[in-house]
A and B are shown apart, each in its own frame.
Chain A
Amino acid sequence: MASLRGADGKQQPAKEAKWAVEVVTVEPGPPERGRETDDEERWHPLDAKMCELGYRPDALIEVLHTAQEAFGYLGAETLAYVGERLGVPKSKAYGVATFYSFFTLEPKARHTCVVCTGTACYLDGAAALLSAVADVLAARAKAAAPGEKEAAGGWISLEEVRCLGPCSMAPVAVVDGEVHGKLSPSGLASLVKAL
């Protein structure tokens, strides 16, 4: 979605550009989860939330949470829809959506593996957990046929989070919403492979 252009307006590869002006164009992304056609019903959870909070601009973050829960990510259309009804300019809505690490503008994969990298988990080997899962992903991508390459990336998203709180169970990872503690790298790799 974002393209890097040099001062002369020509697109440049990121490495060579000395002073890259990032011109971000928000293009319509892939269809949001739960959306079959131009069905207006998909906006209902958002409408309900906005109504509950009085359509005030300060409801933005709460509504974006609702939107992400409903659609899996925040597409351009969602941001425009919400911004318009709350009286928030598109630029501000986009600014808020990109500021907070919980929000994502890209669709998530079918499964999620979130590894906690808080202090206790870091000391107890969070880095090893991340490498173990990364290895599983790399192996799977390698084994996938050329046409299936996309499928591997869409299978699971590997993310980090800074401290979920259950530090006595370090190291912790959340796989598809389920919290697992006292994990070993091989243990987590098995959990992921079984998805």
Chain B
Amino acid sequence: MGSRQVYEALEAEVAATGLDDVAVRRVGCLGLCASGPLVAVPELETLFEGAGPGNSGAREDIVSTLKGEPRGGRPMAGDPFFSRQVKVVLERCGRVDPESIDDYLESGGYEALAKVVASMSPDEVTSEVVKSGLRGRGGAGYPTGLKWRTVAKEAGPAGKFVVCNADEGDPGAFMDRSVMESTPHQVLEGMAIAGYAVGANRGYVYVRAEYPLAAERLALAIRQAEQRGYLGARVAGTRFSFHVELRMGAGAYVCGEETALIASVQGERGTPKPRPPYPAASGLWGCPTLINNVETFANVPPIISRGAEWFSSIGTERSKGTKVFSLAGAVKNTGVIEVPMGLTLREIVFDIGGGLAPGRRFKAVQTGGPAGGCLPEELLDMPVDYESLTQAGSMMGSGGMIVMDDSTCMVDVAKFFMDFCRQESCGKCVPCRVGTHEMWRLLDRMTRGAASRRDLEQLESVAGMVRAMSLCGLGQGAPNPVFSTLRYFRDEYLAHVDEHVCPAEHCQMGAPERAGVGPA
């Protein structure tokens, strides 16, 4: 939103003042996206918000503050948005220039990789990751070390691959985007360490096409790392070689599913395959393939540098470490945050998130994207970890957290997610292709006041079938928003079907059926 122009303007204005102990630098994401563009003066712990290109007043405040006459800005010390966060993955975000490998190196970057290839055996590396308790951050939470071990054990005579899933397709989730744009080298370092551990010499980063800046920065980072010898034929001067290539997605949510992603890297339609065989045994071109999420890889260098014991001291018994969330929706402090596992929803939404705008009431928080669920007010004191979220009918997912207020209709929300799944369904299996369409149709009738109790029963029945019978996670997860909203907001459904009333006063009862129903 114009941060480049702000940077140039500030550089010029600071130079004009003659202050020679001030450096104006471009950094990655500072987190508080709600009030961007942001300028921080870290030594004075002050954040200047809304400093857009047109806001010369903000720049005057900044220059005045730098001159020793503090004006404007928001103190960062003691502000729960900053103080309650624990930055492991996002440690360098907002501190280093994402386009400078020197910045990354100066902040300790690539030290973990150098240590691994010089002094650790592949097995030692995998054991460290197992000990740390790191679980996949893409959504399912599968133990990362265990996955690495599985790939490492495969013979893979034709070679093995490491793939970074940067397809972040959940609408409302932008954690991976922030990591890639702010600290791309950290992701590459994690991939290289993984390659060493599992015996792979080639890696791919599959980036969704909707993230051109992330792709650009990753491409630059790859070139820089190759020039300095952290990627390529002789990593850190050793005989270990690791080459990384970027592959772009082309607008298909289903390609976040690992077998569909593999098909896409192979230049094919992104349709999933039945598992087993799992990618660990047979993935890209039939070779053993390790697939992990961006955030998962970004956790690896800190684990190697500071040790598995340190990592497992953060978080809860079964959910170790931190989680990056993208907070969006009706909350004041929308943006990217990183917190230890186990913090409660209330602490995240109200302390860090700053609560809702005056006059609005909290209604629900949605986690896990289109395969997730909506959690109501009574669950606000629930700790945020893998098990708790799943038990409550939602899931951790990739980290999207959308706060909803009293103006939201939960039936409409379920319809929104079902519409999404219906359009993104690859079409390969009948339960998903037809089932999501049928469920959407029923939800659409409910939101138009054209449904009956029987339609509600039909919805529940089809939902069960789609979950049980679909080939992949898209179909299996598609009914989740319906199940969770039925669990906690059943009265809203009943009002829609029995009385043809929308309690949130959102749905247009009596609206005509949309003509030409089909993918929009």
Task: Give chain A's interface residues, CB within 8 Å of chain B.
Answer: 56-62, 64-65, 86, 88, 92, 95-96, 99-103, 117-123, 160-170, 179, 181
Q: Produce 1/0 per residue, B402-444, CB < 8 A to A.
A: 1010001000000011001001101000000000000000000
Q: 6 other contacts beyond A99-B252, A101-B250, A119-B416, with CB at 8 A cut-off?
A: A61-B264, A99-B426, A100-B270, A164-B210, A167-B328, A168-B335
Which residues of chain B are within 8 angstroms of A161 by Cβ–Cβ distance?
Answer: 210, 251
Q: Is B520 an interface residue (CB 8 A)?
A: yes
Q: Does B33 contact A (CB under 8 A)?
A: yes
- Whole-angstrom CA separation of A102 from B252 in the bound complex: 8
State A62–B334 Cα separation when bound (angstroms): 34
Interface stretch, picked from B7-15, B116-124, B170-178, B470-478, is: B170-178
Residue of B174, B247, B423, B424 near A165 (CB, 8 A) is: B174
What are the nearest 9 A-B pairs in CB distance? A118-B171, A168-B33, A100-B250, A163-B171, A119-B172, A60-B267, A101-B251, A102-B251, A58-B267
B394 within 8 A of A: no
Residue ranges of B at the interface with A (Cβ–Cβ < 8 Å): 1, 33-34, 36, 168-174, 177, 209-211, 247-253, 264-270, 326, 328-330, 334-335, 366, 369, 400, 402, 404, 408, 416-417, 420, 423-424, 426, 520
Closest to B402 in A: A119
Q: A161-B210, A165-B177 are in contact. Are A100 and B251 (CB under 8 A)?
A: yes
Known A103-B250, A123-B329, A163-B171; contact A181-B270, beta-carbon cutoff 8 A: no
Q: How far is the CA of A5 from the CA of B387 in the complex (A)?
A: 53
CB–CB A59/B209 < 8 A: no
Distance A51 CA – B171 CA, assembled complex (angstroms): 35
- Cβ-defined contact, B34 with A162, below 8 A: no
Give the residue of A57, A58, A117, A169 whose beta carbon is less than 8 angstroms from that of B33: A169
Q: Could you say which residues of chain B place their CB within 8 Å of the CB of A65?
A: 209, 248, 250
Checking B168, B269, B330, B334 against A99 with a beta-carbon cut-off of 8 angstroms, the contacting residue is B269
One of A100, A121, A163, A168 near B334 (C-beta < 8 A): A168
Do the beta carbons of A59 and B177 come within 8 Å of each other? no
Which residues does chain A contribute within 8 Å of B36, judged by CB atoms?
A: 168-169
Inter-subunit contact A166/B33 (CB<8 Å): yes
- Residue on B nearest A86 in the bound complex, by CB: B267
Q: B254 — nearest CB in chain A belongs to which residue?
A: A99
**Complex: how many Å from CA A161 to CA B210?**
9
Closest-CB distance, A38 to chain B (whole angstroms): 28
How many angstroms between the C-alpha atoms of A161 and B250 in the bound complex?
A: 11
Give the residues in chain B near A59, CB-CB below 8 Å.
267
Least Cβ–Cβ distance between B478 and chain A, in angstroms: 14
Whether B269 contacts A96 by the Cβ 8 Å rule is yes
User: Do B250 and A167 have beta carbons less than 8 Å apart?
Assistant: no
Interface of B, secondary structure class, is loop
Q: Chain A residues near B265 (CB, 8 Å)?
A: 58
The answer to whether A62 touches B248, judged by C-beta atoms less than 8 angstroms apart, is yes
- A residues in contact with B366, CB < 8 Å: 119
Nearest-neighbor residue (CB-CB) of B369 within chain A: A119
Give every chain B residue within 8 A of A163 (Cβ-Cβ).
169-174, 210
Minimal beta-carbon separation of B262 from chain A (angstroms) = 11
> Is the CB–CB distance between A64 and B250 below 8 Å?
yes
For B253, B366, B416, B417, the residue with the greatest tally of chain A CB atoms inside 10 Å of its CB is B416
In this complex, the member of B33, B174, B250 whose beta carbon has the largest number of chain A beta carbons within 10 angstroms is B250
CB distance from B335 to the nearest CB of A (A): 6
Which residues of chain B have C-beta atoms less than 8 A from A122's C-beta?
Answer: 171, 416
* Alpha-carbon distance between A145 and B294 when the two chains are bound, in angstroms: 53
Chain A residues whose CB sits within 8 angstroms of the CB of B33 once the complex forms: 166-169
Q: Is the CB of A61 within 8 A of B247?
A: yes
Most central of B174, B248, B334 by chain A CB within 10 Å: B174
Q: Give min CB distance, B290 to chain A, whole Å.
A: 18
Give the most central of A62, A99, A101, A165: most B CB within 10 Å.
A165
Contact A96 B171 (CB under 8 A): no
Contact of A120 among B172, B210, B268 (CB under 8 A): B172
Q: How far is the CB of B81 from chain A (nearest CB, A)?
A: 13
A residues less than 8 Å from B335 (CB atoms): 168
User: Roughly how many angstroms separate A59 CA and B268 CA in the complex, as a whole number?
Assistant: 10
- Tell me which residues across on chain A come within 8 A of B250, comparing CB atoms: 61, 64-65, 100-103
Complex alpha-carbon distance, A186 and B257, angstroms:
38
6 residue pairs bridging A and B, Cβ less than 8 Å apart:
A95-B269, A119-B328, A119-B400, A162-B171, A168-B335, A179-B1
Question: Is A123 a contact partner of B253 (Cβ separation < 8 A)?
Answer: no
Name the A residues within 8 Å of B334 (CB-CB).
120, 167-168
Report A-chain residues with C-beta under 8 Å of the C-beta of B210: 161, 163-165
**Closest CB of chain A to B459's CB: distance in Å?**
20
Residue among B174, B329, B520 making CB contact with A166, cutoff 8 Å: B174
A84 CA / B252 CA spacing, docked (Å): 25
CA distance A111 to B423 in the complex (A): 25
Chain A residues contacting B416 (CB-CB under 8 Å) are 119, 122
Q: B253–A162 contact, CB under 8 A?
A: yes
Contact of B172 among A86, A92, A100, A118 (CB under 8 A): A118
Could you tell me the distance between the alpha carbons of A118 and B209 in the complex, rounded to whole angstroms?
15
Measured between beta carbons, the chain B residues less than 8 angstroms from A62 are 247-248
A105 and B409 CA atoms in complex are apart in Å by 37
- CB neighbours of B211 from chain A (8 A): 165
Interface centre among B172, B251, B420, B426 (most CB of A within 10 A): B172
**Least CB separation from B209: chain A residue:** A102
A181-B248 CB under 8 A given contacts A57-B267, A100-B270, A123-B408? no
Out of B248, B264, B424, B426, which one reaches A162, CB within 8 Å?
Answer: B424
Task: Give Cα A161 to B420, complex, Å.
Answer: 11
Most B Cβ at <10 Å: residue of A118, A170, A179: A118
